[in-house]
Amino acid sequence: MRWRRGSRSENLEDRRAEGGRRMGAPSIGLGGLLLLLAASYFFGQDLITPVLEQTQTQVPVDSVPGAPPAETTPEEEERVEFVSFVLDDLQETWARILPDYQPAKLVLFRGAIRSGCGAAQSAMGPFYCPLDQKVYIDLAFYEELHRRFGAPGDFAQAYVIAHEIGHHLQKQLGIEEQVRRLQRARPDAANALSVRMELQADCFAGVWGHSTSRRDILESGDVEEGLNAAAAIGDDRIQRQTTGEIQPEAFTHGSSEQRVAWFRRGLEGGDPNQCDTFKDPG
């Protein structure tokens, strides 16, 4: 990607240096953590903290709020600048498409953090909390995206942020609240509805990708990086890696094929009106 260095977004909250509690990973594992996070979103309650507090330890850290951590590298600080650029470009793009768009905040953290949706840790991956309208990212996830999931490249990293901002769009458009009500009314359909939400966020990410292409921000190979990232974090691929078997009824984000298809739809069409995953099963 062709991006500008040297600036920090006013919507970026750098909380990597915060002191306080760092929580160990409970025995429920990544899948259980993601389900708890989703439940916290849709039921408007912090269901994660009670579980995480069973294993947390105290890690005192002296820090200044908003300051970068004492231990960092030039490479990490460049990644912060990249995230800042992508965040601003995303939100400027959506403000042009949706005149009433209100920007989200993006929070950088390390290890563990307390969000508006409750306590969270980096093992859960990047996430959006609709209760405080913030995206949370531990930059270490990008190393995992590369090494564990085989999805390197800066546009793969940008796709992750674009997907989470897609959830912010759903919050602003009232989609998130409608889905939350449906999940309460039909618990048996909660996972299927979650999949539709995630695929729509993928499509919204693609709409932004279409915009970057038209503005000559993308470089050769960037689109392939984004599509590869979408495929790498499909439920079927993650389940195969972690459990050795695929259980479609347990999907919450969609299969690799579905995620690629909806991201591609946004990339090729550039029209958010074509991202209605609830009417079109794709």
Q: Which domain holds residue 33?
A: 12-274
Cβ atoms of 104 and 165 closer than 8 Å? yes
What pLDDT does residue 169 have?
A: 97
- 244 domain residue, yes or no: yes
- 237 domain residue, yes or no: yes
CA distance 118 to 131: 10
- 239 domain residue, yes or no: yes
CA distance 152 to 134: 25
Place of tokens 């309650």: 45
Helix (H, G, I), strand (E, B) or coil at 274: helix
- 6 domain residue, yes or no: no
Residue 170 in tokens: 């759903």
What are the pLDDT tens digits along the chain (282 aa)? 999 887 789 999 999 998 444 444 443 344 444 544 554 444 444 444 444 444 443 333 444 556 677 689 999 999 999 999 999 999 999 999 998 999 999 999 999 999 999 988 888 899 999 999 999 999 999 999 999 899 999 999 999 999 999 999 999 999 999 999 999 999 999 999 999 999 999 999 999 999 999 999 999 999 999 999 999 999 999 999 888 889 988 899 999 999 999 999 999 999 999 999 998 766
- 111 domain residue, yes or no: yes
- 109 domain residue, yes or no: yes
What pLDDT does residue 55 have?
A: 40
- 145 domain residue, yes or no: yes
- 101 domain residue, yes or no: yes
Q: How many CB atoms lie within 10 A of CB 14?
A: 19
| Domains contained in the chain, number | 1
Pairing label, strands 127-129, 118-121 = unpaired
What pLDDT does residue 273 have?
A: 95
What pLDDT does residue 49 have?
A: 43
What pLDDT does residue 127 have?
A: 95
Cβ atoms of 61 and 17 closer than 8 Å? yes
